[in-house]
């Protein structure tokens, strides 16, 4: 191989290597900007929404590691539904066991008279207006069902 061919070959290899490094770097930075926290605001008192949408997706998001942190907020009519439905209670307990952070709005739960029932399930019952507002202002993805 002539010296000029060798220089051209090395130059091409260097350009390809730099291109790969830039591409890998941009992929890594794109991934790091993706939301790593999911907040699910469960407001519906409909058992079908709870079973076939809200709890199913929320649990899967944690188990499949689609997000690092997954938080379920029981809010409004969902607190009443959860307090009366044993099957949903078992699903929520399994979610807690698998690492979903489950909280309930105390103001809502108090209106329905179910704060103690929810706390007995292992749910943190607290005023959630400010925490939800902070979540909405952050880089957290928030879904509402």
> Contact, 99 vs 62, CB < 8 A?
yes
> Quick one: pLDDT at residue 91?
98
Q: Average of pLDDT values for 14-29?
A: 50
Question: How many CA atoms lie within 13 Å of 68's alpha carbon, on the beta-carbon side?
Answer: 8
Q: Which residues of 1-15 are buried (b: 16+ CB within 10 A; e: fewer)?
A: eeeeeeeeeeeeeee
Task: Tell me the sheet residues that pair with 124.
Answer: 103
Tokens in use for 99? 């690492």
CATH number of 35-144: 3.40.1260.10
Q: Is the pLDDT of residue 6 over 60?
A: no
Task: Tell me the sheet residues that pair with 41.
Answer: 73, 144
Residue in the structure block whose two tokens are 């969902």: 78
pLDDT in tens, 26-84: 555 445 566 699 999 999 999 999 999 999 999 999 999 999 999 999 999 999 999 99
Strand, helix or coil for residue 73: strand
> Quick one: pLDDT at residue 17?
47
> Quick one: pLDDT at residue 14?
47
pLDDT in tens, 87-122: 999 999 999 999 999 999 999 999 999 999 999 999
């Amino acid at each position: 191989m002539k010296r000029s061919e060798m220089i051209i070959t090395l130059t091409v290899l260097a350009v390809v290597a730099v291109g790969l490094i830039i591409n890998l770097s941009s992929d890594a930075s794109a991934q790091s900007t993706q939301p790593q926290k999911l907040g699910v605001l469960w407001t519906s008192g409909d058992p079908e929404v709870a079973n076939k949408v809200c709890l199913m997706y929320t649990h899967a998001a944690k188990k499949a590691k689609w997000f690092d942190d997954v938080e379920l907020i029981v809010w409004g009519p969902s607190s009443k539904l959860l307090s009366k439905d044993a099957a949903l209670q078992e699903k929520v307990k399994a979610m807690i066991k698998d690492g979903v952070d489950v909280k309930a709005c105390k103001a809502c739960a108090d209106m329905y008279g179910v704060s103690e029932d929810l706390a007995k399930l292992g749910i943190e019952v607290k005023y959630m207006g400010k925490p939800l507002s902070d979540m909405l202002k952050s880089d957290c993805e928030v879904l509402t069902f």
